Chains A and B, each alone.
Chain A
Amino acid sequence: MTDSQPAIRLTGLTKEFGAVTAVDHVDLEIAAGEFFSMLGPSGSGKTTVLRLIAGFEQPTAGTIELFGEDVTRRAPFDRDVNTVFQDYALFPHMSVLENVAYGLRVRGIGRRERTQRARAALASVRLEQMGDRKPSQLSGGQRQRVALARATVVQPKVLLLDEPLGALDLKLREQMQVELKQIQRDLGITFIFVTHDQEEALTLSDRIAVFNDGRIQQLGTPADLYEQPGSRFVAGFVGTSNLFDDARSQALLGRGGEHSVRPEKLAVSAEREVGDGVASAPGTVVEVIYLGSGIRIVVDLDAGLRVTALAQNDRRRLRAGDRGDRVFVSWHEADVVALAPAPPAVAGEEADAAASVA
């Protein structure tokens, strides 16, 4: 019966802090068992939505349903959702085992059973040896796993994760991403993951909601968002994009409106490329950046647009050219994505965001 219900349904969810509207009429359904990410820059409202679902904040308007049940006015301790906090929020005066057993303890479960279940939860995150330590004696990655064990030991229906990997260094973060995905598959519960890291969201999620200014800009699978960004903001925030404004689209593509092309869809060559559905434009190389796995080439097109192309660093690669070389930049018509016109009020801000994402 509950399988047909979405795990979370938000209807017209709105949260105002004084004059600031942090969350603005958000409607969202998250399916049971889904790994769902809320992606956006800081201040976009994604964390507030998470805190509203957890019950730490009360919405100004709208409802929150958990498996069809309205939990909007319930206290956090009456909701079957648990949170992994950004700062982990481990109790510093308790041992690791006591931390993990805390949720069972306040539910009145006996000492023997809760110790047993806490040990099992610690084993599931490979920390069975660390039960007697204090949180301060653990590394960042270990604390992260304790927080995960503490939140999952009480078997929530939905697990909320608030930028849980933000404090870890790159290597550990990549390792924890794999572990998170495994844990989610093992437990089979819904994960709602908040992050500002688009790569992390693309790697982990079944679906992603991109937030900006308290609203969902676009909702879709990682491939949807990356291949078919619906707006300038999404094109700029999820991955990097070459944006063609109305005038440049007219000149280069022969049609009006805004368009976007991903850097890896652009090819740079000394000769003009020809083929079915292939278009190209001449330009001058301004920068060649060696990235290891790839090479980034910045070209000033004669049409008056600076574009970035990403070439694979493989054996087929021809010499991409040096600064000042005359080249042709070519692309497939199918890789050009038409963007919905941006709302005028926030257009300048979005352009900034798009420009700052490298």
Chain B
Amino acid sequence: MSQALVESRPRRTAMRAGSAFLTTHPRTRLALLLAAPLFWLVVVYIVALALLLVTAFWSVDSFTGVITTEFTLDNIIEVVTGSLYQTVTLRTLGVALAVTLIDVVLALPIAFYMAKVASPRMQRVLVILVLTPLWASYLVKAYAWRSVLSQDGILEWLLAPFGGHTPGYGLPATIITLSYLWLPYVILPIYAGLERVPDSLLEASGDLGGKTWPTLRLVVFPLILPAIIAGTIFSFALSLGDYITVNIVGGTNQMLGNLVYTNVGAANNLPLASAIALIPIVIIFGYLFLVRRTGALDNL
């Protein structure tokens, strides 16, 4: 009988010894778990960001095109005071705000239908449908909109009988296209937020005499506000950094991303490009600071 007991014990292998060591050394375990992602974060993410910040305070010798690593505020001053940069910053901000507003207005009813009205089966279908555009390439979708919005495109064909016209290429086209591109990123957090609101709260509101609008305003909206803000962070930040869509459907308009692009490429002025790139970063940090108190960051 004792023989049987001994045999039923697992054999000691190197793997088992290693596991036993890790079980009793939680710090080693944690270090092994996080070593790779931490290395990636520090090297690729933080170092790149820090370099960007530092480069903004260097300058380029306009004669030789070589970067001088001497501290100067010239780039920052030029970006803050130059009328070109001010105009483009305001334009970019306007586009980002418009895109965010349109996306929230479109996403709210869709998310509400998905979370509170549709059957469970329909709900799954809709989530997949919302995600489907994300499987297609960004460029393909932007060019698809270029074709839709062109002078002999489908939009013109649809609107012409009613006396309407396609907006053509320009800022409205940019706003429409960006709204389309970022809509899934706004729908999904709002949908998730609505999912977390129990149906009984809506019933309780109706039961207590609250009609549809008071129920939405006093119960649903305050509860999903953090989720809405989480969604707007996506659409706002993604719009601020975009420069491809505006190139494809924006006509001659430029956004901050285009200025960065031309300064890196054509003008070969990396320090100035870095200084311009700091503008959206500062705006986003300002936005995040404003919404931090609403608890929206817990919803990301």
Contacts and interface: CB of A to CB of B under 8 A. Distances in A.
Contacts of A107: 209
A87 B198 contact: yes
A77 B211 contact: yes
A89 interface: yes
B109 interface: no
A150 B200 CA distance: 14
A103 B206 contact: no
A78 to B, nearest CB: 9
B65 interface: no
Contacts of B198: 87, 89
A56 B200 CA distance: 10
A83 B208 CA distance: 8
A93 B222 CA distance: 7
B201 A89 contact: yes
Contacts of A56: 203, 206-207
A76 B203 contact: yes
A91 interface: yes
Contact of A150 (B208, B211, B214, B222): B208
* B contact patch SS: helix
Contacts of B201: 89, 91
Given A77-B211, A85-B200, A106-B211, A91 B206 contact: no
Contacts of B218: 102, 105-106
B214 to A, nearest CB: 5
Contacts of B206: 55-56, 75-77
Nearest to B223: A93
Interface residues of B, number: 17
Interface string A34-56: 00000000000000000000111
A238 interface: no
Interface string A75-102: 1110001110111011111000000001
Given A87-B198, A106-B214, A77 B207 contact: yes
Interface string B189-230: 000000000101101111111110010001100110000000
A50 to B, nearest CB: 11
Interface in A48-66: 54-56
A106 B213 CA distance: 10
Contact of A77 (B200, B209, B219, B222): B209
Contacts of B211: 75, 77, 106
A75 B211 CA distance: 9
A76 B207 contact: yes
A102 B208 contact: yes
A261 interface: no
A194 to B, nearest CB: 14
Nearest to B214: A106
A93 B204 CA distance: 14
A102 B209 CA distance: 9
B207 A83 contact: yes
B208 A82 contact: yes
Interface string A86-130: 110111110000000011011100000000000000000000000
A192 interface: no
Interface of A: 54-56, 75-77, 81-83, 85-87, 89-93, 102-103, 105-107, 150-151, 154
Given A102-B218, A107-B209, 5 more contacts: A77-B206, A81-B207, A87-B200, A91-B201, A106-B208
